[in-house]
Each structure stands twice: as structure tokens, then as C-alpha cells.
Structure 1
Amino acid sequence: MNQELLNKYSVPVPRYTSYPPANFFHEGFTEESYRQAILESNRQEPRAISFYIHIPFCSQMCYYCGCNAIRMRDRKTVRHYIDAVKKEMQLVFPLISHDRKVSQIHYGGGTPTSLPIEILKELNGQILNEFDCIEQPEIAIECHPGYLKEEYWEALPEAGFNRVSLGIQDFNEEVLKAVRRKPSFLPVEEIVSRMREKDISVNLDFIYGLPLQSVESFTETIRRAITIRPNRIVTFSYAHVPWVNPLQKKLEEAGLPTTDQKEALFTHASALLREAGYQSIGLDHFVLPEDELYHAVKEKALHRNFQGYCTRRTTGQVYAFGVTGISQLAHSYSQNTKDFDTYLRQIEEGRLPVSKGYLLDPQEQITGRVIETLMCNYHIDWQEIAAYFHRPAEEIKQTIRYDEAALAAFARDGLITFDENHLQMLPEATPFVRNVAASLDPLLLHTDKKFSKSI
């Protein structure tokens, strides 16, 4: 990638973790809209159920975070929140058909491991006592290793978890200090070894694009990660969105890398990971060859929901609980209120705490499928999309924002190849997949929404 291409394509575009992006959600989608959407979801695909539980609490607020998080509260308030989450489950569970099975449970935040392990076990128990699971469901939790001692790691499998994501972000302590992130309390090598002994799959999560990172320092971080050999290594691109989290302005003071410096961090890390035998998945995941995500990519059958990348086996409609939680059903999204006290009050009143959402019309369902396919598999087979929707391929193209001149420009720049039946990202151009996806999105023709840059 030359500097000219980086300058041309490092522009604000959606991350497309959902379609449409969450900043298109609106307040016209109400509690009753969500209730009806849940009932309809029982007749829609996929049949599997994914549950997401949002734990907003953090002992310390990291400067880079774009998540919905708050400072840790007193024990009584935390208990009040957990009871509210359990009550929200009691409001939603009767609306979900019990002949459906759970494929995923995911805890995000915030810092889910800020909770005592007994509470996590309690929440898992409420779900697993209510619904059956598919064979080998994924029950995962995001972990902040800076605060966790040996006993906590030992108890995670007993609480039902079979995957943990360690938010390392960087092994360089000067970088961590600059972004106000506490380093791991125990050696990460020891944590991964203990989890492996208990058949727990491990992700190590890193962020590139932070202050003080250099190619040399981030290379050392990735080399250490490779030596540890976790199941998955994730290299998230730092998204600078200070209008979402004003704390990110602190990083401007420390100095953020330029676009070409940031791209160099990823390029060198990616090369190291591939040399070590890791396979590239989507925008930011690297997995070992035996991972089911890699098999899905080879079959061009990788999916993504708000839980992250998944296979057809684990793909489920997502029902979210907790403040700010976003449910992702077949044809709709519903987001809970972001206000902590409002969430508690509405749950106490026996209400679903919906603040906004989105109901996709048939055109948007098609666009969403096209963009997800490209973002996950870097490839679109127009006949396959047409067969899925039982419509001619030309009608699919007319429904979305298919612009042959725009695609030809991408092709001239060496980003894609395309013909009448296929669109394919070139391997060295996959960091620009968001740009290509945005070119197919009719919603971006007239919008004032703000997005992070693609690189």
C-alpha cells in the first residue's frame, strides 16, 4: 500500500459491525416494537440463540475506550444492577420459543470480570436452566487481566466459560501507562497455560494505533503473543471517536500515530502472524489453522454478529441484556437505554428498557447481507445472494448502490477484481474493505452521521 492510496482511502466510513450502523438507530423503535420483533424472530433464521450480557463497570477508565462503561459502583448498586439484568431476562425469556437452542453466551463491557465469579455463575445458571444448548456452545467473557488473581482464573471454567478474551492491548508498559491501562497482574504466559489445561480457548486482544507505539515496539508485542500461542490473536484498529468518549482527547495530547504509521503497525504485525502459521480472518482476527473460523473462511461461509465473527454452527440472533445492550434479530435492532439509573427504574417498573432501534426494510436486508458477506469473506457471489433472496442478480444490484464506475476505480487502484458474477478483494487490499462496502451502501448517499477512519 503506497502513501497515495492511504491518503485517498483513509476516510471516515462505517465499521459495519451492524447494518445499518448503530448511529442510524432511532427512537421510533419502541418497547412494543422490540416485543413484537422477539415474537417474530422465533419464525426467522437463524434459529440459534445468542445472549449478550453487558457489564458496564470498570475499576479504571482507559483513555482509548469507545465502549459504554462507567466507574465501578458500591457493592449494593452492583447487586441492584445484577438483579435488574436477571429481571430483564425474566421479561424476555417467555417471548423466545423454548424449542430453540443457545449457541453463544457473551459477556462484554465495561469489564465483566469486575464482578465476583459467583455472580457470573449465577447469571449463566439462569440462562442454562431455561434453555438447552447446541453441542459445544461458545460461552465467552472479556477479561481485564490487570486485576485477576490465580483463584479467579481457576474458577472461570467452573462458572461455565469455555472461551476467554484477554484485553492485553499492548505488552509495552509505557504504552499502557499513556492510555491508562493496567498491565496483567499475572504473567500472560501463565494465564494461557492454565486456561489451556482446562480446555478453555483463549483470545489475546491488542490495539494498534495508540500513542507511543512504534513498529519496533508493537513487533515485540506480537512476537511475545506468538510465543504464547493462544488460539486467536486479535489486532483491533484504534477508533478515534472523541465525540463518543471525550476521554479519547487525552490521547491527542499524547500524540496519535499518523495514518501511514498506523498502517505500518498492522502490516508488520500481520506479516509476523502469518509467518508463525496464523490465518487471517476478517478485519482483525488471526487464528490457528484448526480453528473453525478458518474453515468457515475457506468455505466463504464466515458470519459476524455483535458477538464477533462466528460460523454457521454458532450464528444466532442476539438478545442483549443490561444497560446499552444491543439486540440483533433477523430483521431488527433494539438498543437499551444508556442511562444507568433509567435502566434500573424501567426494569423495576416491569418495562423493557428500549431507547431506540431499527427495523430493516426488504432493501436494507439485502444491502446488509451483501455488506456482511464482503466484510467477512472479502468476496461476493451475486448469484448466491440472488438465490438466498429468490430474486434475479440484476435486481439485487439495482436494490443496493451498485456503481460499476466506482468499482472500476477500486479495481484500477488494485483493491478489487470484479465481473458480472463476482466481486473479490485482493489480499493486500483487505484493510480497505470498509471503503468498498461503503460504496455499496445506499444509506450513505445522504447522511450527516460521523464515523471513524478506515485506517
Structure 2
Amino acid sequence: MEVNKQLLEKYNVPVPRYTSYPPANHFTSDFNKNDYVALIEGSNHDNPTHIAFYIHIPFCAQICFYCGCNALKMENQSVISGYVEAVKKEIQMLSKYIDKSRKVSQIHYGGGTPNAIKSEFIQEINRTIFKEFGLLDHAEIAIECNPALLSYKYIDALLEVGFNRFSIGIQDFNTEVLENVNRKPSALPVKDIVDYIKGKDDQITINLDFIYGLPGQDVNNFSSTIKKAIEVKPDRLVTFSYAHVPWMKENQKILEEKGLPTADEKMDMFMAAYNLLTDAGYVSIGLDHYALPEDELCVALNEHQLHRNFQGYCTKKTTGQVYAVGVSGISQLSGGYAQNTKDLKAYITGIEQWQFPIEKGLEVSFEQKIIRMVINELMCNKFVNWLNVAYTFDISDIQVKKVVLYSYEKLLGFKEDGLIEFDDNQVKITENGSLYIRNIVAALDPALNNNQRMYSKSL
């Protein structure tokens, strides 16, 4: 992969991250709990047929300054206990509307910091799901963990209730960088954590997560962090670009005072990590993920069968429609999106009254479903075939192109920059084009033409 400074300047503009389509800032408060029930019932007849659960645990021992998630400082145990009871009850509420002949293919805990609460609470939630729904063989059960709060005893408790993927948020091995962003280092040596889990079951998938673009980082010390990660040899590794959105997350303003790396410095960090990881045998997945060649994500990428949702990459074979549980959780269903309230008390009160505490959402139109598929194919598989999309929706490829406002001239600019290859039948993103994938898919997003919403920059 080559980096052209002129292209960096040309394409480093605000665009959506496209973890969903339409993006979450298109959701409207006109959408209510009755609309959500209709979406759930409709999802029983749509693809994918599998069920995926996202469980949001909002609590954190301390709030990291870079955090863009819906996170809350740890409450007392009675509040946490009440929250867990509400989560279990919301799962039971969902079970009244979801067809029980469908199977669970994925369970993902995010936050906040899921392992900030007692392991017994996590076990209770899992067992509630197991009681209400059937699981596919080899269903993925994943949890995001802060290594500062991880112990062998806690890991054992998670393994006891079926967790088979651990996403460990290292962010950086440099303690000075962690101190800058108000995050504590791992309580145990990270390699020991990985070896311990793999020793229990070598089929368990482990990924280590990192962020570049934080105060105190430069290409040299971030390269040292990636080299240490390679020595640990996780199955997967993620290098997230820090998204600076202080107008949404006030705590990020603190990082401005500490000094943020420039766009060029961020790109140098990205490229250093890319080169180190690919030289070590990792395969680049999408925009920011890496996996070992034998990993199922690599197999899916080679077969154009990769998928992504708010929780990250997965395969089309294992993905399900996502039913989000907990405060601020966003359900991603075939027919649309629904987000729970971000207010903890309002969430618990609503659930106690057996009401889905929906704050906003969006019903996706037929045209938006077409655009969503086109964008997902490019974001995940770096490839889209217009006839395949047309076949999925039982329309012509000409109609598909009309919906996405296909423009030969617009795509030609990307081709001349060496970012894509295309003809009348398909679009393929090149290796160099992977850096600008958000810009490329934005060219096929009609909603951006009349959109004044604010987004983080693409690079």
C-alpha cells in the first residue's frame, strides 16, 4: 500500500463511518415503541434469519477521555443489580415477539466496560438468553474487556457460560499515553491473559484493540505497541482511528489541551501498523481490522462473504438481525433501527412497566435497503456486483444504479486516483483504495447530497 500526501489532503473530509445505513444520526424521535414491535414482528420473516443479541453494559470504573460510547461512571451495587434485572426482563419481553424457531448465532457484550460488573451478573444475563432461545452450534458469544479489570477468576466465570471470543481493549501499551487519556494499563501481562484463555480452549478467538491518534502517540512509540501485540499473536487485531467529536462528547475536549497528532502523523501511525502487521502475516480486513490467514474472517473476505454491524466484522453465514438490549442499545433489523433511551433511570422505569424504552429509530425504505447492501458490500468485501444486488431485490441492475445515483464520471475520479477498478457490472476497491473506502462509498450515498450533519473526518 502506498500513501500519497496529495490524496490524503483531498480525501480527508468529514463522511459517515457507515457502521449502519442510514447512519445513526438519521434516526428520528418520531419512531416509538409500537414501531419497534412492528419491526421485531416483521424481522421474523426477513433475512438474515438468525438472531443476534447486543447487550450494553454502560458502567466504567473510570471514563476514558477519548470515549465516544454511551458510558457511565460506576454506580453502587444496588443500581447495577437493578440494571441487570431490567436487561434480563427486556430479553424476556423480546422473546414474546421473536419466532422461537429462529436460532441465536451471536451474543455480544459491549459498553461501557462489561467486565466492570460482577461476573455473576454476566452469567445471569447469558442464562436468561439460553432459557428463552435456542443457540446454533458454535454460536459466537463475545465480550469486550478492559484488561485493567480482568482476572483469571473472572475469565473462568465467563468461560463457564460459553464465551468463545474475547475483545481486549489495550488501546496502547505505552503507560504515558494511557495516563494522558485516563486509562489504566492491564492488571496482568497481556500475553499471560491470551495464553491462559488459549490454554483453556485453543478454539476461542481473541482480538486485541488499539487506538491511534491519541495525545502522546507518534509513529515510533505506536510501532513499539504494535510490535508487542504481534509478539502476543492474537487471532485478530484492530487499530481504530480516534474519532474526535467534541461537539458530541465533551470529555474529548480535554485531549485538545493535551495536543492531538496531526492527520499526517495519524496516517504515519496507520501505515506503520499496517506494514508491521501484514509483514507478520496478518491479513487486512475492511478498514481497521486484521486477522490471521486461517481466521474465518479471512476466509469470508476471500469469498465476498464478510459482513459488519455496530459490533464489528463477522461472516454472512453467522450474522443475525441484531436485537439490542440495555440503555442506549441500537437494534439493527432488516426493516429498520431502534435505539433505547440513553437515560439509565428512564430505561429501568420503562422496562419495569413492560414497555420498550425506545428513544428514536428509523424504518428503512426499499431504496435505503438497496443502498445499504451496496455500501455494506464495499465496506466489508471491497467489491460490489450490480447484478447480485439486483437479484437480491428482484429488480434490474439499471434500477440499482439509479437508486444509488451511479455516476460514471464520479467513479472515474476514484479510478484515476488508483482507488478503484470498475466497469458496467462491478466496482472493486484496490489495496490503496482501502484507505479511502469511506469516501468511495459516500459517492454512492444519495443522502449526503442534502445533508448538513456533522461527521468525523475520514482519515
Asked if TM exceeds 0.5, the reply is yes
Tell whether 2:160 aligns with 1:158.
yes
Counterpart residue number, 2:224:
220
Pairwise mapping of residues 180-195 of structure 1 onto structure 2 (< 5 A)? 180-195=182-197
What CA deviation, in whole Å up to 9, does each residue of 1:58-110 have, x standing for no partner? Answer: 01000001000010000001111111111111211110000000000000000
Paired with 1:136 and 1:231, the residues of 2 have a C-alpha distance of: 17
Contact 2:87 2:325 in 1 (8 A): yes
Match for 1:31: what amino acid? K
Counterpart residue number, 1:265:
269
Paired with 1:353 and 1:154, the residues of 2 have a C-alpha distance of: 33
Match for 2:170: what amino acid? I
Counterpart residue number, 2:286:
282
Give 2:241's match in structure 1, choosing from 237, 248, 255.
237
Q: What's the CA shift for 1:265?
A: 0.5
Match for 1:83: what amino acid? E
Paired with 1:149 and 1:314, the residues of 2 have a C-alpha distance of: 30
Q: What's the CA shift for 1:16?
A: 0.3
Q: What's the CA shift for 1:318?
A: 0.3
What CA deviation, in whole Å up to 9, does each residue of 1:280-311 have, x standing for no partner? Answer: 11111110111111000000111112221111
- SS of the equivalent of 2:435 reads helix
- SS of the equivalent of 2:148 reads coil
Moved more, 284-293 or 306-315: 306-315
The count of corresponding residues between Structure 1 and Structure 2 is: 455
- SS of the equivalent of 2:132 reads coil
Counterpart residue number, 2:418:
414
Q: What's the CA shift for 1:150?
A: 2.5
Counterpart residue number, 1:207:
211
Tell whether 2:439 aligns with 1:448.
no
Paired with 2:94 and 2:153, the residues of 1 have a C-alpha distance of: 33
- SS of the equivalent of 1:174 reads helix
Paired with 2:137 and 2:150, the residues of 1 have a C-alpha distance of: 30
Contact 1:121 1:160 in 2 (8 A): no
Counterpart residue number, 1:175:
177
Pairwise mapping of residues 11-410 of structure 1 onto structure 2 (< 5 A)? 11-199=13-201, 200-410=204-414
Contact 1:26 1:356 in 2 (8 A): yes
Paired with 1:198 and 1:43, the residues of 2 have a C-alpha distance of: 39
Moved more, 279-288 or 409-418: 409-418
Contact 1:195 1:201 in 2 (8 A): no
Moved more, 253-262 or 187-196: 253-262
Structure 1 residue ranges without an equivalent (≥5): none
Match for 2:266: what amino acid? K
Structure 2 residue ranges without an equivalent (≥5): none
Contact 1:211 1:254 in 2 (8 A): yes
Counterpart residue number, 1:430:
434
- SS of the equivalent of 2:147 reads coil
Moved more, 142-151 or 76-85: 142-151
Contact 2:42 2:335 in 1 (8 A): no
Q: What's the CA shift for 1:249?
A: 0.7
Q: What's the CA shift for 1:196?
A: 0.5
Q: CA RMSD in A?
A: 0.9
What CA deviation, in whole Å up to 9, does each residue of 1:162-185 have, x standing for no partner? Answer: 111100000011111111111000
Match for 1:419: what amino acid? D
Match for 1:117: what amino acid? S
What CA deviation, in whole Å up to 9, does each residue of 1:167-211 have, x standing for no partner? Answer: 000001111111111100000010000010122321100001111
Moved more, 109-118 or 154-163: 154-163
Contact 1:12 1:453 in 2 (8 A): yes
TM-score with structure 2 setting the length: 0.98
Percent of pairs identical after alignment? 52
Paired with 2:458 and 2:127, the residues of 1 have a C-alpha distance of: 40
Paired with 1:306 and 1:257, the residues of 2 have a C-alpha distance of: 26
